[in-house]
Amino acid sequence: MNAPVFAPWTDQSAEPMIRFRNVTKKFGDFTAISNLNLDIYEKEFFALLGPSGCGKTTMMRMLAGFEEPTSGDIIVSGDNIGHLPPNQRPVNMMFQSYALFPHLSVWENIAFGLRRDKLPKDQISARVDEMLKLTRLEKFARRKPHQISGGQRQRVALARSLAKAPKLLLLDEPLGALDKKLREATQFELMDIQEKTGTTFVIVTHDQEEAMTVASRIAVMDEGKLVQVDTPDRLYENPNSRYVADFVGDVNIIEAKASPLDGDRYALHWSEAEDALIGTTSTALSDGQSCYMAIRPEKIAISADRPEDAANAVQGKVEDIGYLGNMSTYHVRLNSGSLIKAQVANQRRISRRAFAWEDPVWLSWTATAGVVLAD
């Protein structure tokens, strides 16, 4: 049984629902967004990811209509909405602070947008009830926002923003105020709701795990520019830059000088004291070009003896062990002085742990495990 894969961005004929075309946004002298192009497709769950101040919130506020682009066009379903006021856009937003109206009940909060459209009363109440059911809030309809919990408030905010069945729903750090457990549960709930309603979601977050969990595609941003736009697995496995490799997940970055071997294999000279590492990349590197090898800690094997057939093997001493329960992170100090993180699933009980502090160990990984990135 093979469900068709949802990937309109690979389809040349697919028409994007949202297009940012050469969008620049300046606040005084400060350039928040610089000449940015981005396509988002219908029914996507699209994440804007980046550190604070990278411009992701500005992007979202331009979609909602709270900011106007200084130059460039924002096109939603063929209409240039760049200069439309927020109340005339087919877009709704769920605010980071939830922005629930404190003087209105949960029911009235959800009905607020529908009432503005002057819908008949029975239609409004049917739609509100539908939203209450979707977010499992039926019991709290009559309460005021300050009489319910944080998680419930979050769901009211979601229900309110979905009530008008917008073409596009914007979520600004929607789970930021929830604790970790509730956040994880809510992430899956969000995905369910997105699938059920078929709405296009654009989420802004600084939490890469959250983006990886919920999104079909992620745009990693830095200083007003898109660094990489890709699916979560490609971002993780094939980051296009040191910045992305470092921002998404945990990684060891090793600086080296490349020298080509056969095909796409390169020898990476990184330390006088150690053998060259072997890595592959599709980007052509010249002899002696400086580059980085990015290797994820969980792709590194740890052993007492040198493995026979490993393409890359280095020796060192266990300096620290971070015990996370399900896995442990070993910080291994190499003979050359650099520090490498390796992650191992704890398949056995901790008393059976194979390695302890100060143990000499070998770290190894295959030639394709890491990513070689040009400087």
- Using CB under 8 A as the binding rule, whether residue 27 contacts another protein is answered as no
Binding track, positions 50-69, relative to another protein; x by CB under 8 A? --------------xxx---
- Using CB under 8 A as the binding rule, whether residue 146 contacts another protein is answered as yes
Nearer to another protein, 67 or 255 (CB): 67
- Using CB under 8 A as the binding rule, whether residue 103 contacts another protein is answered as yes
Q: Which amino acid is at 146?
A: H
Residues 319-348 close enough to bind another protein by CB under 8 A = none
The tokens describing 104, both together, are 């209105």
The percent of the chain in helix, strand and coil, each rounded to the nearest 5, is 25, 35, 40
- Using CB under 8 A as the binding rule, whether residue 101 contacts another protein is answered as yes
Please answer whether residues 214 and 185 qualify as being in contact, where contact means their C-beta atoms are separated by less than 8 angstroms: no
DSSP per-residue string spanning 36-48: EEEEE-TT-EEEE
Helix (H) or strand (E) holding 195: helix 180-197
Nearer to another protein, 92 or 328 (CB): 92
- Using CB under 8 A as the binding rule, whether residue 120 contacts another protein is answered as no
Q: Which stretch binds another protein (CB under 8 A): 48-56, 97-105, 129-137, 185-193?
A: 97-105
- Using CB under 8 A as the binding rule, whether residue 99 contacts another protein is answered as yes
Strand order in the sheet with 217-222: 91-94, 168-172, 200-205, 45-49, 217-222, 225-230
Strand order in the sheet with 18-27: 30-40, 18-27, 71-76, 79-80
DSSP for residue 104: S
Q: Residues 48, 91, 215, 318: which binds another protein (CB under 8 A)?
A: 91
Cβ 132 to another protein, closest distance in Å?
17
Nearer to another protein, 203 or 258 (CB): 203
Please answer whether residues 303 and 290 qualify as being in contact, where contact means their C-beta atoms are separated by less than 8 angstroms: no
Residues 168-207 close enough to bind another protein by CB under 8 A = none
- Using CB under 8 A as the binding rule, whether residue 93 contacts another protein is answered as yes
Nearer to another protein, 135 or 228 (CB): 135
Please answer whether residues 295 and 348 qualify as being in contact, where contact means their C-beta atoms are separated by less than 8 angstroms: no
Q: Residues 51, 85, 150, 360: which binds another protein (CB under 8 A)?
A: 85
Please answer whether residues 181 and 146 qualify as being in contact, where contact means their C-beta atoms are separated by less than 8 angstroms: no
Number of residues that bind another protein (CB under 8 A): 25
Contact residues toward another protein (CB under 8 A) are 64-66, 85-87, 91-93, 95-97, 99-103, 112-113, 116-117, 146, 160-161, 164
